[in-house]
Structure 1
Amino acid sequence: MKWTDDRSGNVEDRRGLGGGAVVGGGLGTLIIAAIIFFLGGDPSSILSSGNAGSNTASTEQRDLTPDELKIREFVQMITAENEETWTKIFAENGMKYSPAKVVLFESTTQSGCGTAQSAMGPFYCPADHKVYMDMSFFKELQSRFGAKVTEFTIAYVMAHEMGHHVQNLLGVLEETNKARTSGNYSEAQLNKVSVATELQADFYAGVWAKQTDSREHFLEPGDIDAAINAAEAVGDDNIQKRSQGYVNQESFTHGSSAQRKEWFMKGYNSGDIRQGDTFNQLLK
């Protein structure tokens, strides 16, 4: 993909700072465990750490490497392109967009939803409107889940998490959290709600790619294929096959590889936010 000249000031780089992270239980930890896992990780490790009282990580500091500084600049660029595109889309639909912030960290850091850990993968915290990213995730995405990682792979993952921010602004995450805490739905029904939530974020990522490319012409051959490859790699069926050797569709929380590709491409081909109602289509 081609780099643009835009850079956002809404990127906080905590790498190299050591930085303690206060670990606490409660609703924030539950939100992470129940709502916003991109990778489909095991929530038990997060919940157990959330009940561990408080802990302070190492406070040693180090200088960032040239490669790490380049990554920060890239993230600043992608963040800026998300801000510009979603500001335009919201304005076209009579709404005002409020930007999310992106936090780069390593190992562990504090978030408004509890403790952010590398094992969780990138996630969006609705409590503080921030996307948390440990870039080591992309090594795991390649080595563990078989994705070919490119710059646009990173852009797609960020766009997916920004999609959750869009959902938060539109009230979608509030409604899905009400469904989870109401006690009126079975686990299988709540899994379908989760799938619809994640697939809509994939759809929004596709919309972002289409609209941003129309403005900046930043896509190059192979970029969309890279996004599809990443989306398919973290499909529930692929993760389950690799981790347990079989697929249980009723336990899906993020959607199959085919569904993730389908909804990303629907967003990309249409470029129209109004066509992303995954809930009505999946919860019939």
Structure 2
Amino acid sequence: MSFNDDVQLDPSQVQDRRGMGRGAKIGGGIGGGLILLIAALLGVNPQLLEGLAGAGQDPQNQGTAPACSTGADADARLDCRITGTVNSLNAFWPAYLQEYNVQYPQPETVIFSQATNTGCGAATSEVGPFYCPADTTAYFDPGFFQELVDRFGSSGGPLAQEYVVAHEFGHHIQNVLGTLDRAQQDPQGPESGAVRVELQADCYAGLWARHATTQQDPNTGRPFLEPLTDQDLSDALSAASAVGDDRIQQAATGRVTPEAWTHGSSEQRQKWFYQGYQTGDINECDTFAVATP
């Protein structure tokens, strides 16, 4: 989805750590990156970071995302699109959750390159975008979005990128509602808690997409995003499909092993994103209430 040109962005909601990365590099080359992406892509898996806590844990300087002030900037620059999507999510979720008498503590968001320190330990770009519950922060390396296209065949359209950001914020909502830890209690398999957590985050991303075109910028009173087009929806579903466990396993190893799934198949990820988008109802995102997600 494209942003309305004149909406005002709030870059203070995003920390920019690019060029300040630290920490030991996890893995190396395309093979190591793929292995980690299979396990961590678009999700939270603190086990990936075990052994790295304490590596490069000195305080980091940080600033806000530069030159991101309007919706036109969000359409022109990826870092500004991340910032604009964060602004939209931080405007949408408090009002939506208030209907259920749930308070929304605003998460932190970090843009980084190569490596950064987190509350879950030192992380590098190979883990993909992730949410760390220990510091309630979502982390994004903008370089990942090209990887999503080049390695996994996703569309590079705006909603494909915004879906990634909205998915990580979905994990924050799960953290607020108390469902996030179910991923660690039942970590693998096609019907595991881990898969259900990831699919629910996809559903929450779709729910945001349903409402994002009417969620107003508090400064201008205009919606952050322009009306959704068929191409926008196709872009988001393309991204959801690209990060299905079956598709990633096939690309990495030439075979599909459902018992090792942690995020769900391409079909499941598309299904639950669309469920959230079609219904716009958080009650319809209960992936734990169905026998087969």
Instruction: Give the TM-score band, short-chain normalised.
Output: 0.7 to 0.9
The answer to whether the aligner puts 1:13 opposite 2:20 as a matched pair is no
The answer on whether the counterparts of 2:14 and 2:109 sit within 8 Å (CA) in structure 1 is: yes
1:167 Cα shift?
A: 0.3
Q: Distance in 1 between matches of 2:55 and 2:148?
A: 30
Which residue in 2 is equivalent to 1:99? 106
**Which deviates more from structure 2 when the two are superposed, residues 94-103 or residues 252-261?**
94-103
Please give the secondary structure, in 1, of the residue aligned with 2:3: coil
1:56 Cα shift?
A: 7.8
Q: Distance in 2 between matches of 1:189 and 1:258?
A: 15
1:37 Cα shift?
A: 1.9
For 1:152-163, what aligned pairs fall within 5 Å after superposition? Answer: 152-163=159-170
Which residue in 1 is equivalent to 2:270? 261
1:174 Cα shift?
A: 3.5
Please give the secondary structure, in 2, of the residue aligned with 1:222: helix
Q: Distance in 1 between matches of 2:197 and 2:160?
A: 20
Consecutive unaligned residues in structure 2, runs of 5 or more? 26-35, 68-72, 216-222
Which residue in 1 is equivalent to 2:90? 83
1:282 Cα shift?
A: 4.2
Task: Specify whether residues 193 and 240 from structure 1 end up closer, same or farther in structure 2 by C-alpha distance, changes over 3 A only.
Answer: same
Normalized per residue, which structure has more helix? 1
Task: Specify whether residues 88 and 19 from structure 1 end up closer, same or farther in structure 2 by C-alpha distance, changes over 3 A only.
Answer: same
TM-score by length of 2: 0.78
1:74 Cα shift?
A: 2.0
1:204 Cα shift?
A: 0.1
Which residue in 1 is equivalent to 2:239? 230
Cα deviation, 1:178-220, whole Å, max 9, x if unaligned, reads x25xxxxxx6569711000000000000000001123435223
Which residue in 2 is equivalent to 1:198? 198
1:118 Cα shift?
A: 0.3
Cα deviation, 1:146-172, whole Å, max 9, x if unaligned, reads 112122211000000000000001011
Matched-pair identity in %: 37
Which residue in 1 is equivalent to 2:115? 108
Please point out which of 153, 160, 171 is paired with 1:146: 153
1:38 Cα shift?
A: 2.3
Q: Distance in 1 between matches of 2:91 and 2:66?
A: 29
The answer to whether the aligner puts 1:207 opposite 2:222 as a matched pair is no
Residue type of the partner of 1:10?
A: Q
Task: Specify whether residues 271 and 39 from structure 1 end up closer, same or farther in structure 2 by C-alpha distance, changes over 3 A only.
Answer: closer
Task: Specify whether residues 265 and 108 from structure 1 end up closer, same or farther in structure 2 by C-alpha distance, changes over 3 A only.
Answer: same
The answer on whether the counterparts of 2:43 and 2:131 sit within 8 Å (CA) in structure 1 is: no
Task: Specify whether residues 140 and 280 from structure 1 end up closer, same or farther in structure 2 by C-alpha distance, changes over 3 A only.
Answer: same
Task: Specify whether residues 2 and 101 from structure 1 end up closer, same or farther in structure 2 by C-alpha distance, changes over 3 A only.
Answer: same
1:137 Cα shift?
A: 0.7
The answer on whether the counterparts of 1:267 and 1:273 sit within 8 Å (CA) in structure 2 is: yes
Task: Specify whether residues 7 and 41 from structure 1 end up closer, same or farther in structure 2 by C-alpha distance, changes over 3 A only.
Answer: closer
The alignment yields a C-alpha RMSD, in angstroms, of: 3.3
Q: Distance in 1 between matches of 2:284 and 2:47?
A: 35
Q: Distance in 2 between matches of 1:85 and 1:10?
A: 14
After superposing on structure 2, the runs of 4+ consecutive aligned residues of structure 1 that deviate more than 6 Å are 40-45, 64-69
For 1:34-49, what aligned pairs fall within 5 Å after superposition? Answer: 37-38=40-41, 46-47=49-50
The answer on whether the counterparts of 1:2 and 1:220 sit within 8 Å (CA) in structure 2 is: no
